[in-house]
Amino acid sequence: MKSHCPYCALQCGIELEGSAQTPALVGDAGFPVNEGALCIKGWTAASLLRHPERLTSPLARDAGGALRTVGWDEALRRIVDAVSGVQARHGKDAVGVLGSGALTNEKAYLLGKFARVALGSASIDYNGRFCMSSAAAAAVRAFGVDRGLPFPLEDIPLAEAILLVGANPAETMPPLVRYFQAQRKAGGALIVADPRRTATALSDALHLPLAPGTDAVLANGLLHVLVRDGFVDEDYVRARTEGFEAVRALCAAYWPERVERLTGVPQGDVVRAARLLGQARTAMVLTARGAEQQAQGVANVLAFVNLALALGLPGRRGSGFGTLTGQGNGQGGREHGQKADQLPGYRRIDDPAARAHVARVWGIGADELPGAGRSAFEMLDGIGSEGGVKALLVFGTNPAVSAPHGRAIADRLARLECLIVSDFFLSETASLAHVVLPSTQWAEEDGTTTNLEGRVVRRRKAFDAPRGVRTDLEILGALARALGQGDGFAFESAQDVFEELRRASAGGPADYAGITYERIDREGGVFWPCPSQDHPGTPRLFTRRFPTKNGRARFHAVRPAGPAEAPDADYPLFLTTGRVLAHYQSGTQTRRVAELVEREPEPVAEIHPLLARHHGLEAGDTLRLSTRRGELRLRVKLVPAMRQDTVFVPFHWGGVQSANRLTNPALDPVSRMPEFKVCAARIEDKAVSAAESVERGVA
């Protein structure tokens, strides 16, 4: 059975054989994205199907507060009683829903419909708010539409120069690296802007080691050189864009010496990088979470979009601007209505025409549709305060680990009148829940996902789920029926849901109307927008015009603001967070895979040897790292390629190992993205030696 990896947005093709008890998994050599290659996460994904910690029956709290096994009927009754009671006392919006970029398109779509139709609540958002929201908001502002990569991956080797900003695919999606290797083999140049010299930057790439939070300064500085040295594609700028003159004037103030002072990147390298981009006949600018997960994430992305527009890249083969989506269905998950301000098809919820169209498909009046809700962090942070949600349904995400200022968020979750979690393991969030619903895993269900290129692919059911487990689609249908709203949720299959999604998305920016399961099977995936069944799909966007009102892309003059919390006398270091090869997101799955745990058993703090020496630390010692929000004890890894003022901590662990206990919940004013990637930190003086660490166990 052909399917796709459950983890990241590359959605590598996989072939499954055997049974759920003894599954065999290989990479699908026929799927063009990975041609059989997988990373270690993909290789080991099937080991979770019959994992001993798998949830196989619903759980609910007993009178003593312990979670105990209950039947589905009791679990659903408890949820309906809690939801109805909360809504009767506090209003419809007091019941919230938190979705995920890990859900299939069908689940994401049905979750949005469930919140707005069955619950009648505006309070829905999803964990992509912590992941893709800044890139998405910037793309909509600049290009009129947000598709992470507006071109297929096969274009990457055609680029003579690529600037990769805050991305580390060598660890986060290793099969993607072969595209960059092909680009290098063809003589192309790779420039990597990242505070860390990551595995991606370790090759013979030109590494720009910018200080965390200075991304937009670097972008403005690169554009300064492009303008100064005559590399701007004036014809393209004149014919296809607007707003460049303000940007040209602003960038005049970002000369290389000043950029070096502000970012730490040597001025010679700023000039070299700009010239590599400027001299290339084909070039790409690609951003990822490093630049985006900041309180000025939208501005950062827009500053790099400016570079691509000035060089005339978007819409040309082998060239363009793109962002590397992270989660498995991070692209589709942001298109079909689980976002607080959106309806299916990437429509705006405040657009009267969009409301009328979707309401018609859903068989309700447009005035019955709620308006925009609060963003994910604001919904979570508002728990316990006036107007905050009192009950929350969580599907496929683990905010107790993944939200910034995690300890405060875990406390808030514990204060809910009712927390309901659908998951296949007892995650840190599920362990706080009043009711836990056991759901199917990727190889046990049908559906579609949309990968980082905008290619819609099929997830296929290969094995039956363990007895007692249900799909999220079945759970939502049963809940809607129990709430007396079953009419709009009587779907027989995932394909039935997709058929309705096609109609709901028709005419929207992310138009799936022409995509069918049969076409995906036949064509190996279909790129949206695809408005009709005789439309070929759209691998490359922007070739003739941008989907803005006047068909032009927009420049934005970006005045960098710096991080919300800069280092100071009390907290003199930067803390930045990210991923490691062996783990994925909050680690609910990968921390249960023996091979992955063996590789990366715990979070370690990466610091420069000189910083370590300054604090009397050696490799393997345990340091105490604190920010204004908390403290962690972490084993030390010495990394000579780190900046001396920066500590890196991966975020895949929970409880006392959770990096997000330290992160700053400052939000981007547009995208409401928290500032995961930079805050002020310090290493406390009293370290714990390596020998003591072993004796006491870390943390």
Question: Closest CB to ligand SF4 among 39 and 164?
Answer: 39
8 is a site residue for ligand SF4 (CB under 6 A): yes
Question: Closest CB to ligand SF4 among 330 and 529?
Answer: 330
Q: How far is the CB of 14 from ligand SF4 (least distance, A)?
A: 8
Q: Which stretch binds ligand SF4 (CB under 6 A): 33-41, 301-309, 318-326, 686-694?
A: 33-41
C-alpha radius of gyration, the chain, whole number: 24
Q: How far is the CB of 368 from ligand SF4 (least distance, A)?
A: 39
Asked if 127 contacts 100 with a C-beta cutoff of 8 angstroms, the reply is yes
Q: How far is CA 236 from CA 232, 245, 273, in A?
A: 9, 14, 21
Q: Is 2 helix (H, G, I), strand (E, B) or coil?
A: strand
Q: How far is the CB of 391 from ligand SF4 (least distance, A)?
A: 33
Q: How far is the CB of 460 from ligand SF4 (least distance, A)?
A: 15
Q: Binding string, 158-177, against ligand SF4, x = CB under 6 A?
A: ---------------xxx--
10 is a site residue for ligand SF4 (CB under 6 A): yes
7 is a site residue for ligand SF4 (CB under 6 A): yes
Q: How far is the CB of 169 from ligand SF4 (least distance, A)?
A: 8
What is the rounded CA–CA span in Å between residue 24 and residue 148? 32
Q: Which of 371, 172, 408, 379 is nearest to 286 (CA)?
A: 172
Exactly one of 12, 340, 392, 430 binds ligand SF4 (CB under 6 A); that residue is 12
Q: How far is the CB of 225 from ligand SF4 (least distance, A)?
A: 34
Q: Which of 209, 179, 175 is nearest to 191 (CA)?
A: 209
Interface with ligand SF4: number of residues (CB under 6 A): 14
Token digits of residue 98: 């938190």
Q: How far is the CB of 41 from ligand SF4 (least distance, A)?
A: 4
Question: Closest CB to ligand SF4 among 300 and 585?
Answer: 585
532: buried, middle or exposed (CB in 10 Å: 19+, 13-18, 0-12)? exposed
Question: Closest CB to ligand SF4 among 8 and 49?
Answer: 8
Q: Which stretch binds ligand SF4 (CB under 6 A): 7-15, 240-248, 290-298, 412-420?
A: 7-15
Interactions with ligand SF4, residue window 174-213 (CB under 6 A): 174-175
Q: Which stretch binds ligand SF4 (CB under 6 A): 38-46, 536-544, 570-578, 671-679?
A: 38-46
Q: Which of 630, 639, 617, 637 is nearest to 692 (CA)?
A: 617
230: buried, middle or exposed (CB in 10 Å: 19+, 13-18, 0-12)? exposed
DSSP string, 280-298: -SSEEEEE-HHHHSSTTHH
Q: How far is the CB of 523 from ligand SF4 (least distance, A)?
A: 20
Question: Closest CB to ligand SF4 among 157 and 406?
Answer: 157
Question: Closest CB to ligand SF4 among 10 and 313?
Answer: 10
Q: How far is the CB of 569 from ligand SF4 (least distance, A)?
A: 42
Tokens 């996460």, located at residue: 41
Q: How far is the CB of 590 from ligand SF4 (least distance, A)?
A: 9
Interactions with ligand SF4, residue window 319-348 (CB under 6 A): none
Q: Which stretch binds ligand SF4 (CB under 6 A): 1-9, 218-226, 253-261, 525-533?
A: 1-9
Exactly one of 16, 25, 39, 142 binds ligand SF4 (CB under 6 A); that residue is 39
Q: Binding string, 41-80, against ligand SF4, x = CB under 6 A?
A: xx--------------------------------------
Say how many CA atoms lie within 13 Å of 519 toward its Cβ. Answer: 19
Q: How far is the CB of 4 from ligand SF4 (least distance, A)?
A: 7
Interactions with ligand SF4, residue window 389-418 (CB under 6 A): none
Question: Closest CB to ligand SF4 among 182 and 206?
Answer: 182
Asked if 316 contacts 231 with a C-beta cutoff of 8 angstroms, the reply is no
Q: How far is the CB of 5 from ligand SF4 (least distance, A)?
A: 3
38 is a site residue for ligand SF4 (CB under 6 A): yes
* Beta carbons within 10 angstroms of residue 36's beta carbon: 15
Q: How far is CA 56 from CA 422, 438, 440, in A?
A: 12, 6, 9
Residue nearest to ligand SF4 (CB): 42
Q: Binding string, 474-513, against ligand SF4, x = CB under 6 A?
A: ----------------------------------------
Specify the pairing of strand 161-165 against strand 189-193: parallel
- What's the one-letter identity of residue 617? L
Q: Is the four-CA dihedral 679, 176, 654, 673 of positive or negative sign? A: positive
Question: Closest CB to ligand SF4 among 339 and 579?
Answer: 579
Q: Is 514 helix (H, G, I), strand (E, B) or coil?
A: coil
Question: Closest CB to ligand SF4 among 12 and 291?
Answer: 12
Segment (H or E) for 627: strand 622-627
11 is a site residue for ligand SF4 (CB under 6 A): yes
Q: Which of 99, 1, 3, 5 is nearest to 584 (CA)?
A: 5
149 is a site residue for ligand SF4 (CB under 6 A): no
Q: How far is the CB of 512 from ligand SF4 (least distance, A)?
A: 21
Q: Is 426 helix (H, G, I), strand (E, B) or coil?
A: coil
User: HEC profile for 306-352?
Assistant: HHHHHCCCCCCCCCEEEECCCECCCCHHHCCCCCCCEECCCEECCCH
Asked if 163 contacts 277 with a C-beta cutoff of 8 angstroms, the reply is yes
Q: Which stretch binds ligand SF4 (CB under 6 A): 34-42, 57-65, 223-231, 666-674?
A: 34-42
- What's the one-letter identity of residue 33? V
* DSSP for residue 439: B
Specify the pairing of strand 674-675 against strand 664-667: antiparallel
100-120 burial, b at 16+ Cβ within 10 Å, e below that, comes to: bbbbbbbbbbbbbbbbbbbbb
Q: Which stretch binds ligand SF4 (CB under 6 A): 37-45, 126-134, 260-268, 418-426?
A: 37-45
Question: Closest CB to ligand SF4 among 132 and 558?
Answer: 132
Question: Closest CB to ligand SF4 among 42 and 212?
Answer: 42
Q: How far is the CB of 12 from ligand SF4 (least distance, A)?
A: 3
What is the rounded CA–CA span in Å between residue 4 and residue 327? 13
* Dihedral over alpha carbons 490, 494, 500, 505 (to 10 degrees): 140
Q: How far is the CB of 175 from ligand SF4 (least distance, A)?
A: 5
504-531 burial, b at 16+ Cβ within 10 Å, e below that, comes to: bbbebbbbbbbbbbebbeeebbbbbbbb
Asked if 571 contacts 680 with a C-beta cutoff of 8 angstroms, the reply is yes
Q: Which stretch binds ligand SF4 (CB under 6 A): 3-11, 207-215, 232-240, 394-402?
A: 3-11
Which residues of the chain form contacts with ligand SF4 (CB under 6 A)? Answer: 5, 7-8, 10-12, 34, 38-39, 41-42, 173-175
